[in-house]
Homo-oligomer: A and B are copies of this chain.
């Protein structure tokens, strides 16, 4: 079971400690994304060395392969994937419904490309009814069905510390009426998830988060926040469509956070650019997850302060003669051992080692940024820290 303690505040921002059966996550904290029960290109030791204390796995992908029973047989995801820290599972609702709604949903979450080439085939392969959702496997076309009850049983098999309710995630371009229907159904599904979670006796080892929905519509966000706050969820996630721009999601979070119970941890789903972490923390978010640090590493992009969008392209010709580390002063394994010139060489030579080395830096960058955020909260100067960070990013 999870416990959460706030140790310092700075305006709405708060610093705290999230305790689980698999260790502790200091907050504001970060879940690295291990979609298919593996971090992209990096082993658990590398992630832990980077200061990453938590990962989030996607129950939808793991359901399709290798399946909940295969993971249960191994003793749960921690043992299956060799991760000893805090572990969360997303329900997979986002994946199902982003396929349904196509690329717009990807844009909402800053995911402009399908995670798998075959996923593009799956648009319109999803049907939702009151009871649950039918969908096709992007691996073999087989038919599957998630209900709140079956999804909780799946997440029990996976054995994560933190679980998300099954939900439908609406994209920006649907009608307000569609979003209202989905938001109301998500509330009913949240109740059913909680009942199944209790009936399956999962509370002994696992903790369930409720998810706030309502798209960009304030009255729907309020309705959802009131409903899930009444239910005994261990934590509260903010999900669904967060709008088209960063200002949109700032607005959603500004609206929702004060409506959530103070004592419960708050997770912002699928958001984690460097500036997002600071903007979210300022607004009272405790935890984040985002695939970006490992995803951009595959394309040769490293996270770096003082650069546009915090990005450095390691594949550019100029890197070939830069003998210094990727980031001056960075204490990551990669920066302590390798030069930009070597990373450039590895990417040009198509050596897969390049991905691991860059991913580890990007995760360390993210972990270090949140260390500074926590320090800034304790010092009561998070707003100043934001200003300094964003000015340097130019």
Closest to A346 in B: B38
Contacts of A11 in B (CB 8 A): none
Contacting residues, chain B, for A32 (C-beta < 8 A):
none
Do A81 and B40 touch (CB < 8 A)?
no
Complex partner residue of A74 from B36, B339, B352, CB under 8 angstroms: B339
List the B side residues contacting A73 at CB < 8 Å. Answer: 323, 341
Of residues 67 to 81 in A, which have CB atoms within 8 Å of B's CB atoms? 70, 73-74, 80-81
Per the bound structure, the CA–CA distance linking A356 and B45 in Å amounts to 13
B323 touches A357 (CB 8 A): no
Given contacts A66-B320, A338-B82, A352-B352, contact A345 B74 (CB under 8 A): no
Q: Per-residue CB proximity of A351-377 to B under 8 Å, as 1/0?
A: 111011100000000000000000000
Asked if A321 is an interface residue, CB under 8 A from chain B, the answer is yes
Q: Which residues of A from 309 to 364 have beta carbons under 8 Å from B? A: 320-321, 323, 337-339, 341-342, 344-346, 348-349, 351-353, 355-357
A65 contacts which chain B residues (CB < 8 A)?
345, 348-349
Give chain B nearest CB distance to A71 CB in angstroms: 9
**Chain B min CB distance to A56 (Å):** 16
Question: Are B82 and A345 in contact (CB-based, < 8 A)?
Answer: no
A291 to chain B minimum Cβ distance, whole angstroms, is 13
A39 within 8 A of B: yes
Residues of B close to A74: CB separation below 8 A:
323, 339, 341-342
Within 8 Å of chain B (Cβ to Cβ): is A43? yes
Instruction: List, in ascending order, chain B residues with CB within 8 A of A342's CB.
Output: 37, 74, 80-81
Whose C-beta in chain B lies nearest to the C-beta of A342? B80
In contact, A353 and B38 (Cβ under 8 angstroms): yes
A353 & B43 in contact (Cβ 8 Å cutoff) = yes
| Copies of this polypeptide in the complex | 2
Contact call B38/A339, Cβ cutoff below 8 A: no
Contact with B along A17-59 (1 / 0, CB 8 A): 0000000000000000000111111110000000000000000
CB-CB under 8 A for A356 and B320, given A339-B74, A342-B81: no
A40 to B323, CA, bound (A): 22
Contacts of A39 in B (CB 8 A): 353
Among A38, A338, A346, the one with the most B-chain Cβ atoms within 10 Å of its Cβ is A38
Most buried by B among A41, A323, A344, A352: A352
Cβ of A300 to closest chain B Cβ, rounded Å:
14
What is the distance, in angstroms, from A296's C-beta to the closest C-beta of chain B? Answer: 15
| Contact, CB under 8 Å: A70 / B321 | yes
B66 near A351 with CB under 8 A, answer no
A residues 204-257 with Cβ under 8 Å of B? none
User: Do residues A345 and B37 form an inter-chain contact, with CB atoms below 8 A?
Assistant: yes
Please determine whether A356 and B38 come into contact, CB atoms closer than 8 angstroms: no
Instruction: For A356, list chain B residues within 8 Å (CB).
Output: 43, 352, 356
Q: Is the CB of A351 within 8 A of B70?
A: no
Report the bound CA distance from A339 to B337 in whole Å. 31
Neighbouring B residues of A43 by C-beta, 8 Å: 353, 356-357
Interchain residue pairs with CB less than 8 A apart (14): A36-B345, A37-B345, A38-B353, A40-B351, A40-B352, A41-B351, A41-B352, A42-B353, A43-B356, A65-B349, A66-B341, A74-B339, A80-B342, A356-B356
Among all A-B residue pairs, the 4 with the closest Cβ atoms: A82-B337, A38-B351, A36-B349, A66-B345
**Extra inter-chain contacts (11) besides given A38-B353, A41-B351, A43-B357, CB under 8 Å:** A36-B349, A40-B351, A41-B353, A42-B353, A65-B348, A65-B349, A66-B345, A70-B321, A70-B345, A74-B342, A352-B352
